[in-house]
Structure formats: C-alpha cells, structure tokens
Amino acid sequence: MNPKELNSNDPVAWCPGCGNFGIREAVKRALVELELEPWQTCFVSGIGQAAKAPHYIRCNLFNGLHGRALPVATGVKLANPELVVIAEGGDGDGYAEGGNHFLHALRRNIDVTYLVHDNQVYGLTKGQASPTSDSGMKTRTTPSGSRVPAFHPLALAVALDGGYVARGLSNRVAHLAALIAGAVRHPGFALVEILQPCVSFNRVNTGQWYRERVYELADEYDPTNRELAFDLAREWGERIPIGLFYRSSRPAYPLPVPAAPPSGDTFRFLLETLR
C-alpha cells in the first residue's frame, strides 16, 4: 500500500493551510509503515475539525458525541482485541468535554492510541478559548485575555504513568508519522499530542511561532526517565520540545479472553470486564 490508497472519497472540509492536512498525511504514512489494511483499524472520534480526520481516511470509523471518543474506543478494544483502535480529536474535545475520560484512560492503560490535534482554540465553533489556550490569549470568549493558566496534558500523562507520551508538530510529517507508529506498537495507552496552527482563528500560535520555538528531543534522550520527562512536559514558551517524552513499563490493561457473553446478559458481561 501507499498513503494515497488510504484516502477516502469524502470531500475535505478544512480551511486551506490547516495543520490537519499534515496530521492526516502522517497518520496515513504510519498505517503504511505498520502494514495495516483499512479493515484492521478502527478510528473513533468526537466532534470538531480534528474529529473529522478519520472521515478522510479509509478505515472503520465510529463518530460519536463531543468528548466521548475514549470510552467508545475502550469498548471497541474490549469487544475486539485484535483491532488496532485509534481515537482522534482536538484539544477542546479531548481535554475539556472529554477530560474525565482522558484521566481514566491513562489510569487504565488500555491498548488504545489517542491522537489529539492541539491548536489552542475550538476551531469548529469559530475560535473560542480551549483548555490549552495560553494565559492572556484573546479569543471570542476571552476578549480581555484568558485569566487561567493553560492545561499541560503531557505533564498530567507522565504524572499518571501513562504508557506512551509523545508530542509532534503537524508540519514535521515524517517525525510525526514515526511517533504515531511507535504509539500503535506500544502495548498500552498511548497519547500523541500534535501541535498545529489554526490559520483562521489563532493568530498567536502560527506556523512561524512554532518554527522559532520547537526542537526535537535528542536521540540519546532516555524516555524511561520519568522525572526528566515531567520537567520537559512542562517546558513551554521560548522553547517547546517534541518527540517521545515518556514510555512506561506498566502492564497494559488485561483484555478479556474471547468468549461469548451469557445469553441476554451482554451489558453485565461488559461491566464485569471493565472491573
């Protein structure tokens, strides 16, 4: 296969120059590197411009409610452990509406990959502040500037001993594709936060802004050093690191042994599995 074979027939509804195009290309390259056919993957997304991404790739897809990608992805993986399950959405979808699910996905460490497109605003609903908007950022909902500090999802993921914690940049496609492939290979919950400029509604965190600040973690960096990973995950401003921050040796959530649930009692079977 080649990446072009993974394009769907759906018309793309993103703004010209949107960082989502680079992310989609990186996802396709990762799937090709992993030699995954469309029938072997299931993407789950919520609501938002980022959540549209799986519509533009040939794959199994569940597109559900705002912020609810991770519980559905968990259910898919429990029901069919052989599927590669990838949840995808934006910073608002994942860290605001879906924040509680994000915490418990990290805690469970189930074998799901989570791709979060982070452009520091709500892109679909025209540029409101999101959890990752920097303090002082002016948006349609914060005309005087955001009065709260930005949320640092990577630091939280490291603090909760997340399985695979990484960050990429939408226009460094080859680097990002390698991070995504590594996330899928990791046996446990994998977070890949993807920084991207929003060309329509974020005039602060632009492509030029990122080029002046982003640097890749050195080849000799040790991703098992949790203390250093936590410090790097909090680094933001004049210098912004990207790469694999942390990899845990914690066992993944035990998937169920394939077995037919008791007749007429599927819901109770799933509840017992989650416990």
Give the residue-averaged pLDDT of 141-166.
92
pLDDT (0 to 100) of residue 86: 98
DSSP E strand boundaries for the chain? 41-45, 60-63, 84-90, 113-118, 121-122, 128-129, 164-169, 190-195, 214-216, 240-247
pLDDT (0 to 100) of residue 121: 87
Model confidence at 261: pLDDT above 60 = no
* pTM score, whole prediction: 0.90
Task: Give 198-220 pLDDT, tens digit per residue.
Answer: 998 888 889 999 999 999 999 99
Model confidence at 179: pLDDT above 70 = yes
Quote the number of domains for the chain: 1
Instruction: Tokens for 141, please give them.
Output: 């909902």
CB atoms within 10 A of CB 20: 24
Percent of the chain with pLDDT over 70: 93
Structural domain boundaries enclosing 182? 3-274
Give the residue-averaged pLDDT of 12-41.
95
pLDDT (0 to 100) of residue 141: 82
pLDDT (0 to 100) of residue 193: 98
pLDDT (0 to 100) of residue 275: 66
Contacts for 18 with CB less than 8 Å, ≥ 6 apart? 49, 196, 198, 199, 200
Model confidence at 132: pLDDT above 90 = no
Model confidence at 124: pLDDT above 80 = no
Give the residue-averaged pLDDT of 28-34.
97
pLDDT (0 to 100) of residue 274: 65
CATH for 226: 3.40.50.970
Give the chain's mean pLDDT. 91
Q: Which of 10, 24, 7, 8 lies closest to 196, judged by CA? A: 24
Give the residue-averaged pLDDT of 30-56.
94
100: left (phi over 0), alpha (psi -120 to 50) or beta: alpha
> Would you place residue 267 in the very low, low, confident or very high pLDDT band (cuts 50, 70, 90)?
low
Task: Give 95-118 pLDDT, tens digit per residue.
Answer: 998 889 999 999 999 999 999 999
pLDDT (0 to 100) of residue 79: 92
